[in-house]
Amino acid sequence: MNTEQTQNELIIRETPGCLWIVGLFFAVVGGIFVYGALGGFADYSRHSPLMLAVALVMGSVGVGVGVWTIYNAPITKIVINRVENTVLMSRYGLLSREDSFYDFDQIEGFCLMEDRDTEGDPIWYFALQLIDDEPIRITSLASHSETYKREYVFRANEFMNKQLSSTEMIFEPQDEDEAKMS
């Protein structure tokens, strides 16, 4: 994810290129198996029909998984506009584009959604919490680092004036005089 900020706009973009690479890998390798099973192998006539059927099925599964991975990882662009008091969420998918407009009055704020990975560890998604609805997950890529995603939540909410700026004041005992502490 990356951000751009002007005086009146904050733009947050997520381009899940690593998921596209994985999806493309599955689709290309699966496509090679499908091509070969349909007569593209140099020694096609020497292979048994069972092996060709297995190659066709496995190749089709690979192509399907690749397309599904790319389809479920759209480019997401959030534009927060202070002048118009709107949030535009655009998602560019494999074959479509979806735009959603929200007024600041409809939004409670940006938040984190917690989920669990396959090992049971927490993973975090960047989300938009509407006042009368469930959170809308924005990111395709989850992160194990809560602080990484929380920075985007804080920055977006602060830009919309949905939360006050915070200051951290950490005092360690060594910062104080011994006489004042007793």
pTM: 0.69
DSSP output for the chain: -EEEE-SSEEEEEE--HHHHHHHHHHHHHHHHHHHIIIIISTTGGGS-HHHHHHHHHHHHHHHHHHHHHHHTS-EEEEEEETTTTEEEEEEE-SS-EEEEEEEGGGEEEEEEEEEE-TTS-EEEEEEEEETTSPPEE--SS-BS-HHHHHHHHHHHHHHTTSS---------GGGS-HHHH-
Q: How far apart are CA 2 and CA 151, in angstroms?
A: 11
pLDDT at 165: 47
pLDDT score for 178? 59
pLDDT value of residue 65: 95
pLDDT, tens digit (0-9, with 9 covering 90-100), for 9-20:
999 998 888 888
In this structure, what token pair is assigned to residue 116? 């669990």
Tokens of 159: 């830009």
N-to-C CA span, the chain: 49
Q: Per residue in 121-170, pLDDT tens?
A: 888 888 888 888 888 888 877 888 888 888 888 888 888 887 654 544 44
| pLDDT per residue as tens digits for the range 62-118 | 999 999 988 888 888 999 999 999 999 998 887 888 899 999 888 888 888 888 888
Neighbours of 69 (CB within 10 A): 20
For residue 22, pLDDT over 80 is answered with yes
Predicted local confidence at residue 17, as pLDDT? 84
